[in-house]
Structure 1
Amino acid sequence: MPSRCEICCEILIAILLPPLGVCFRHGCCSVEFCICLLLTILGYVPGIIYALYAIVFIDRNEYFDEYRRPLYAPA
């Protein structure tokens, strides 16, 4: 479970650059990142809304197993 400081930093980054905030949370080759990148290209505000949803409400530990874990996540 991420700390409050990590979540606040990811939210601030997601407001400035939505795909980067999602990348920090879910990895850069995830479905969430691709959706956020597409929404940000189509419109900045939808990208921010989806990034905040992906950071706050989607739990990455629920569906990440050992093979799909991002490189920076602790083992």
Structure 2
Amino acid sequence: SSQGIAYEDVFEGVYYPAVSLYKNTKVTMNFGPDFKCPPQGLKDFRPMSDAASQTMVEYALADIIYHVENEGKLPEF
């Protein structure tokens, strides 16, 4: 059953929860791209290895949008 709201006003970024360990626990994880056991019941999923290139694309687009929105307003260097 629900224990109530755990967190409020948390940044709405992207989070990748994976595992929590206690004491001498060991775990082996496979985040892809070659999945030993691919996720079942999901139409679209990508390996974590795609996250780095996706982040670079998002940063580049954010920079472009910033410069377009602020054209003529930024100081010359």
TM category, shorter: under 0.3
Structure of higher CA gyration radius: 2
Q: Given the two structures, how large is their TM-score scaled by the length of structure 2?
A: 0.25
More helix by share: 1
